[in-house]
Amino acid sequence: MKYSLLILGLMLGFGAGLQAQANLSIQGSIQNSSGIALADGKYSLTFRLYETETGGTPVWSETQPTLNVSGGLYSATLGQISPLTASFDKPYYLGVSVNNSPELLPRARLSSSPYALSLIGQTNIFPSTGAIGIGTKTPDSGAQLHVKNENGAARVAVGGSEGAEIVFREGSNTATISYDGDKINISNFNIVFDEGIKLPANKTIKYDGAADWRLVDTDDFETGTDGWICHTIWNSTTTAAFERFTPNTPFSKGYILRPTQVSTSCLKKEIDLTGIPHSMVKVVFTYHFFDTWDYQNGVANEFGYGAFASQLNPYVIAGQSNGFFQLGWRRPALGMNGVLGPSGYTTINASFSDYNIRGSMVAQTSLDKFWIFFGSNLAEDTVNESFGISNIEIWVR
C-alpha cells in the first residue's frame, strides 16, 4: 500500500549550546490515497531536503530511528542529528521515507517559516552569506548592511534601558559612540572634514562652554581684488587708483593691494555676514609700510589705521560717538625710516626701512553688513610714502 506525506506545520527553533544551533520543528501526517493512516508505532524516518520537487540530489538529510507515530501523525525536530547546512535562500522540498522504504510522494514544499534560517546562519551569524539589504534587494558592493528608504530618509534606531552604544573594533583597538540619555559621547575621536563644517543658524562651536572664533572669509588677492575698492579719503566716495602686485622676495610671495594716487587714500570693503550667527567680529590682516614715514620732534605724526564703519561714507560728529565709524587699529611711524626698493617691493636695510606687521581689530556687533577700512595719515604723495594690505581674514563668534 502506498502512503503519501502531508506536512501539517513548521516551526523554527533553537537548540542549546554556546553557539545557537538552528533547528526546524515539523508535524506531519502519513496516510494512503484512501486516507488510511500509517499504523501506530515507532518508526525510523529519514528526512531529506531537495531544491527540486522531483528527482535531484538532497542538500541535507538525517535519519531519526525511533519516532512515534500515532493516528498517522508524527512530530520531529530536524537538525538535532545532522546540522542543518542548507542556506534557505531558495525554495526547498522535504522528502520522507519510512523504515528505509522509497520516499513518500509528493514531496512537501517548505513554507516561509524555515527561511528565517537564512537570517540566523549556521553559527548565529547574520546572515549566513551575502550582504544584508533593508529596503533594498541590491545592497551596495562592499557593504555588509545597507539600509535604504525609497520614499524618504533611511533611519537606524539603537536603544536600551541604560543607554545605547555602538562599538567599532579593529584588531584589539576599539572606539565607541554612546548615548546616556542626555548626551552623545564619542571615544578615540579624530575626525577630518574634507568640505569644512557648516553650522545651522544660531549655532556655534564651544570649548568648555565658551564660544570660539571661527573663520568665515579670507582675501588673499591671488586672482583679483576680492571686492575691495579705493577712495581718496576715509569719508569720501571719490574713487582713487590702487594696484594689486606681489613683492619679488623669497619671504613675501603673496599679493598686496596698495593705493597709488593720493596719500590719504583709503581701501574699503563691505562685509556680508547674512546667515552667519555672530555677536563679535575680528579682522586679522597684514599691514605694509612703504618708503619713508616721518615723525617730528620725537612724535609720530604719520600712522596707519584700520577701522569699522556702518556705511560707505561715514561721518564723525566731534565729541560724540555715533557709531558710523570706529577706529579699530592704529600704528604710528615710530622706528620706520627707509627707502622704497628699486623694483617696487619692500627692502630691509641697516636702518630698518620698509616692513610689515600682522595686526587685528575686534568689534562687538551683530550687524550682518558693515564696512572695513584701511588707510594712512601721510604727509607726502604715494611716490614717497604709501601703505598696502594683504592676507585678510574675517573671524566671528
Instruction: Encode the chain (397 residues) as per-residue pLDDT tens digits.
Output: 455 555 444 444 444 333 445 678 888 888 876 778 888 999 999 999 999 999 999 999 999 999 999 988 899 999 889 988 787 778 889 999 999 888 888 888 887 665 555 555 555 566 666 788 888 888 888 888 889 988 888 888 888 888 899 988 888 888 899 988 888 888 887 777 777 777 776 676 776 666 788 899 999 999 999 999 999 999 889 999 999 988 766 666 689 999 999 989 999 999 999 988 889 999 999 998 887 776 554 455 778 999 999 888 876 655 555 568 888 998 876 444 433 333 333 443 333 345 678 999 999 999 999 999 999 988 788 887 889 999 999 999 8
Q: Residue 246 gets which letter from DSSP?
A: -
Closest CA to 145 of 130, 124, 165, 125: 130
Q: Which residues, at least 6 apart from 143, have a Cβ–Cβ distance to it below 8 Å?
A: 131
DSSP-derived letter for residue 20 is P
Q: Are residues 385 and 260 in the same domain?
A: yes
Q: Is residue 372 part of a domain?
A: yes
List the one residue out of 301, 320, 313, 278 whose CA is nearest residue 378: 301
Q: Which range of residues forms the domain containing residue 296?
A: 218-396
Residue 7 inside a domain? The answer is: yes
145 domain residue, yes or no: no
For position 198, what pLDDT does the model report? 74
Could you tell me if residue 60 is inside a domain?
yes
Half-sphere exposure of 317 (CA within 13 A, CB side): 5
Indicate whether 182 belongs to any domain: no
Indicate the number of domains in the chain.
Answer: 2
In which element (H, E) is residue 381 found? none
Same domain, 109 and 257: no
Query: What are the cell numbers at 11?
Result: 516551526
228, 232, 234, 235: CA torsion to nearest 10: -120
Q: What pLDDT score was predicted for residue 283? A: 98
Shared domain for 110 and 245, answered yes or no, is no
Last residue of a domain, one of 120, 152, 177: 120
Look at the block and give the residue holding cell 581689530: 361
Q: At residue 153, what are phi and psi to the nearest 5 degrees?
A: -75, 140
Inside any domain, residue 89? yes
Distance set, CA 327 to CA 69, 234, 236, 283 (Å) = 102, 11, 16, 12
Is the Cβ–Cβ distance between 200 and 275 less than 8 Å? no
Regarding whether 387 and 275 lie in a shared domain, the answer is: yes
CATH code of 97's domain: 2.60.40
The residue from 120, 153, 173 where one domain ends is 120
Question: 136: which 3 cell numbers?
Answer: 533594498
Look up residue 120 and give its amino acid: I
Q: List residues bridging with 47 in a β-sheet.
A: 62, 96
Is 306:373 a contact under the CB 8 Å cutoff? Answer: yes
235 and 379 in a common domain: yes
Task: Say how many CA atoms lie within 13 Å of 76 toward its Cβ.
Answer: 27
On whether both 224 and 114 belong to a single domain, the answer is no
Q: Is 176 domain-assigned? A: no
Instruction: Tell me, yes or no, whether 229 and 370 share the same domain.
Output: yes
Element (H, E) at 192: none
Nearest to 96 by CA among 56, 71, 51, 62: 62
For 21, the enclosing helix (H) or strand (E) is strand 21-32
Beta partners for residue 53, in sequence order: none
Compute φ and ψ for 118, nearest 5 degrees: -65, -25
pLDDT, residue 294, reads 65
**Domain boundary residue, one of 94, 120, 146:** 120
Q: Can you say whether the dihedral through the CA atoms of 291, 296, 301, 304 is positive or negative?
A: positive
For residue 397, how far is the Cα from the chain centroid? 22
Domain identity same for 237 and 372:
yes
Within a domain: 346 = yes
- Please state the pTM of the whole predicted model: 0.51
**Which CATH number characterizes residue 310's domain?**
2.60.120.200
Listed in sequence order, the residues at least 6 apart from 150 whose beta carbon sits closer than 8 Å to its beta carbon are 135
